[in-house]
Amino acid sequence: MRIKYTRLFIFTFVFINMFVFYYTWKYLLTTNIVNSFASPTYKVALTSNSTYKRPKIADKMQFANKHIKSTITVVFREFYHFDNDLKSSIQSILNIIPSIKIFLIYDDIPYPPLDIFNSSSIKNKVRLFTLDQRLGKGLVDMNPVNFIKTPYTLFMPDSVRISSRSTLQKILREINAVETKNQNNSKISSFQQVTKREKRLFIIPFSSNNKHDPVCNSINVDLPNWTIEYSAENNTKNNRCDMFLQKHALILDTSILKEIPNAMSSPFPEFFYIRAKNEKVRLYVLNTTFSEGKSLFTAYHTKQEKKDIRKQQFKDLYKILQIKKVIERTYQTNQNALKNLKRKQQQNSKGKKKFDEPEIKFNLTSTLLTTITYFGCEKNTKSCIGQVFNRKPFYTYINRHTPPCCIDKLKTVFHHVIEEIENVGIRYWLDNIALKDAIDSNHLSLNSYEIDISFNYYDLQRSNLLKKAQVKPYSDEKGFYWIKATDGNYFKVQYSKVNQIGVNLLPYNIESNNVATANGFFGWKSHEFALEYLHPMSTVLFLGRSVACPNNVVEYLIAKKIKKEP
């Protein structure tokens, strides 16, 4: 029995050795075969001129040009016909890559004609597009994106210079590095990476940009309140950079460009950035920079003309997006603080205290400024509220509140009316929905579109404006329009003759039977109530000022069926 086990052990040992010997021999044989094919070629390349030729510089340049041409389409979108540097900018690109595709896109055909039309060498290599919707243009022709066949689209600003093709090659390498890094850091599957691919927009800044000015804006769009807010940022590394402010070019995947509606509309690139924000496109700022060309808009009249055009473009933009309020939070550089900071840097250059981070310099030398601009509800325009049906304006049906421009003008009218009736001694009180808002929050509710002020009818003769409005509509010195209503015996003070947003003045008869009744107006606002609510009068804080109101306000509102019983 022991002999059998010994034989089995010897047999197993021999088999394992043969197995190891076989695979070792196979590996060495394969390696020798590969070397026998590879080594001679390498040796011949070094010793003879018959089998190997080094690629020529011209061939490398041709290959690089071919790669860039098949990868990038250059688009010039932001320029002005009265002052531009398009000819030299386009020529600087064609000098490096003669066959690259270049698109020139404008809103309307520029007149006088651009100087590039005088150069046949440039004109024949540039494709021109207009974004107008004139008859004769097909659906495909109205969108230049349909004609971009390359994977990437590079939007160039006016007055740019590219010194070498290596600049574009560096841009492509940086883009590839960002995409590779994100793929390596991603923990989701390859299928999910395809379906949930991050949309990226790459920024190429200019070397001439000022490091002390804000570089980014974060964008916050609040559609229910018709508001957009821009907040200046000086750090591009966080996720709050939605719009690059200083001069730059931008490059992105063409497939993303096709997903953004009206991507090339004016003002460009601001309109594009807002759309990209809505599409959740993330911005990356590359290290590669471009050089600036000729200085533009140095004359006062060209600078002013550009300013006027941009102002109208933004006005049209906010009309399209239905934006009524624009909040801009930016920074103003303090030159004295900047000089002091530089002096401290020099003094502490050998110490531990240094101010090398650009965002630290930015915070120490800049002052935050907030500006608010309203679009709509002007003296010469109609109210944004429009017709009110069943006590609900149209915007409540699209889940929006009263436009902020209307709220602002309504406050203006209210303060003007209160000053007038207090100056002449009319006994009044805040009433109805406005009174309910006052006790709830001291402000107008988000859906307010009017303010009601009731007053003692016997005090009407104290106001010259009301007496004039009783005869015919009257505009006072500040343009406010006093008018007697056509649907009842009450008055209305409008923001202007055209803009009907305003305050209602409701007259009440204070009778001897201890009941106040409406004098000639009807509806849900005309409920009678006991005079005890007016004796004595109380006050409430509303829109930043103290105004008269009935006592026991909650009971008063319940009596008038404005507020439900608790």
Q: Which amino acid is at 114?
A: L
Q: What is the pLDDT of residue 280?
A: 92
Q: What is the pLDDT of residues 422-457, one digit of tens each?
A: 999 999 999 999 999 999 999 999 999 999 999 999
Domain boundaries defined on the chain: 57-179+197-211+239-295, 394-560
Distance CA 390, CA 322 (A): 24
Distance CA 542, CA 432 (A): 13
Mean pLDDT score, 4-31: 71
Mean per-residue pLDDT over the chain, rounded: 84
Q: What is the pLDDT of residue 219?
A: 95
pTM for this one? 0.79
Instruction: Output the six-digit token pair for 19.
Output: 């197995």
Tell me whether residue 419 is exposed, middle or buried, using C-beta atoms within 10 angstroms of its C-beta: 0 to 12, 13 to 18, 19 or more. Answer: exposed
Q: What is the pLDDT of residues 269-289, one digit of tens each?
A: 999 999 999 999 999 999 999
Q: What is the pLDDT of residues 504-520, one digit of tens each?
A: 999 999 876 788 888 88
Q: Which residues contact 396 (CB under 8 A, 6 or more apart)?
A: 447
Distance CA 533, CA 528 (A): 11
Q: For residue 31, what pLDDT band results from cuts at 50, 70 and 90?
A: very low
Following DSSP, what letter does each residue of 425-437 receive, concatenated? T--EEEEHHHHHH
Strands 152-157 and 72-78: parallel
Q: For residue 48, what pLDDT band results from cuts at 50, 70 and 90?
A: very low
Distance CA 392, CA 399 (A): 11
Q: What is the pLDDT of residue 40?
A: 37
Is-contact 153 73, C-beta < 8 A? Answer: yes
Q: Which residue has the tokens 């500040």?
A: 478
Q: Which residues contact 134 (CB under 8 A, 6 or more apart)?
A: none
Q: Which residues contact 71 (CB under 8 A, 6 or more apart)?
A: 150, 151, 152, 172
| Assigned CATH for 57-179+197-211+239-295 | 3.90.550.10
Instruction: Output the six-digit token pair for 184.
Output: 């390596």
CATH 1.10.260.40 assigned to 394-560: no
Query: Could you say which DSSP state residue 95 is in?
Result: T
Q: What is the pLDDT of residue 239?
A: 67
Question: Radius of gyration of the chain from Cα atoms?
Answer: 37
Distance CA 546, CA 442 (A): 10
Q: What is the pLDDT of residue 33?
A: 34
Distance CA 223, CA 520 (A): 40
Mean pLDDT score, 50-78: 78
| C-alpha angle 204-206-207 in degrees, rounded to nearest 5 | 125
Is-contact 277 240, C-beta < 8 A? Answer: no
